[in-house]
Amino acid sequence: MYQIVTIPGDGIGPEVTNEAIKVFDAASKKVGFTYQLTETDFGGDRYLKTGEILPDAAIDEFQSADAIYLGAIGHPDVKPGILEKGILLKARFELDLYINLRPVKLYPGVETPIKDKGPKDIDFVIVRENTEGLYSGIGGFLKRGTPDEVAIQQMINTRKGVERCIRYAFEYTKKRNKENKLTICDKRNVLTYAHELWQRTFDEVGEEYPEIEKDHALVDATTMWMVKNPEWFDVIVTCNMFGDIITDLGAMIQGGMGIAASGNLHPGKVGMFEPIHGSAPKYTGENKINPIAAIAASGMMLDHIGESEAAILVENALIDLLASQKIKDFGAGRMGYTTSEVGDMIADAVATS
Ligand code: IPM
Ligand code: MN
């Protein structure tokens, strides 16, 4: 029996989590596995009521689960940064979820803003380092609030951290077995220490993968190619900050934030799955938000726990619904269906597949 922990979180997080778990449940019944769900209430409301963000005891419990499902974090009454750092980043760091895996796949029937590009052109995966870089939280102020103020935010790159990420990306590219091409995205022409380490590590680890084609793109050029020639990419590996930025661009070219899903992983350990979108507080409780990204994230969670057959059923149900073009627009309130109706359609498709 799998142990699944949910953190529905803030805003529309609980609504999309409901649909994600609805589909997960349909898949479990279809392929025949059991699971136990533990729901937690970490998020803005709990913080405002109790002052507690994400206690260490919760992290200990997460460690022993098979997967964690996160809806969305971000509350209008909480200063930006507190919940993001205190919940999302804390979970990523404390659980050492060093990979953030973000597929960029345009499904048939979904519109991309890129002229003349279709599903065969937009199908790649971004492997984002998830525990270091500019996200390490090391730094501080000197003479804060004075005209002489200094703010330092360190970018941390360890050989171990860079190497395990790059190694994962090579392994993933090999397993994906599509173009067998891995592109490293960096800024080696300016970050001549940090990204020299990335470059050297990429070259060294790459020697172990002669069958994988190696490519390099500077991050600014990467954003250009993602729009101009997205078909050039198979798998991209990049640092935390650049990965954050280019995956939002990736989400847009695959049809928007309503579709993009991600997994925070440490192979062999608990993983955390989430839609890329935020908590969209203004739509809270309206049953209007698109749950597709959230459902896609539950598909990734199925794959992670080892239920790949169930994961395929969920992806196929998503593909069929999108290809049918019943949903004309993926924006909140413009789908022509409610959040729960979209979840029902996908869950039913999984159940009857
Ligand atoms: C993401 C988000 C987070 C990040 C924020 C909410 C801290 O933008 O998952 O991409 O920057 O990693
Ligand atoms: Mn982001």
Q: Give per-residue pLDDT as tens, 215-228.
A: 999 999 999 999 99
CA distance 162 to 166: 6
Residues in the chain: 353
When pLDDT is averaged across residues 144-168 and rounded to a whole number, the result is: 98
CA distance 180 to 57: 42
Residue with CA closest to ligand 1 atom 9: 276
Task: Find out whether the beta carbon of 88 lies less than 6 Å from any atom of ligand 1.
Answer: yes
Could you tell me the CA-to-CA distances from 114 to 124, 226, 261 in Å, in that order? 15, 10, 20
CA distance 119 to 112: 9
**CATH numbers and ranges of domains, the chain:** 1-98+261-353 (3.40.718.10), 112-254 (3.40.718.10)
When pLDDT is averaged across residues 170-185 and rounded to a whole number, the result is: 98
CB 205 within 8 A of CB 167: yes
Q: What is the pLDDT of residue 203?
A: 98
pLDDT, tens digit (0-9, with 9 covering 90-100), for 267-283: 999 999 999 999 999 99
Q: What is the pLDDT of residue 328?
A: 86
Task: Find out whether the beta carbon of 129 lies less than 6 Å from any atom of ligand 1.
Answer: no
Could you tell me the CA-to-CA distances from 195 to 77, 119, 184 in Å, in that order? 38, 32, 10
Cα pseudo-dihedral 48, 135, 66, 69, rounded to 10: 50
Burial class of 40 by CB neighbour count within 10 A (0 to 12, 13 to 18, 19+):
middle
Q: What is the pLDDT of residue 220?
A: 98
Q: What is the pLDDT of residue 156?
A: 98
What residues pair up with 241 in beta bridges, in sequence order? none
Token match 């593909």: residue?
319
User: Got the DSSP string for 283-304?
Assistant: GTTSS-S--HHHHHHHHHHHHH
CA distance 322 to 58: 37
> Catalytic residue at 60?
no
> Catalytic residue at 187?
yes
> Catalytic residue at 234?
no
Q: What is the pLDDT of residue 73?
A: 96
Task: Find out whether the beta carbon of 303 lies less than 6 Å from any atom of ligand 1.
Answer: no
Mean pLDDT over each residue of the chain, to the nearest integer: 97
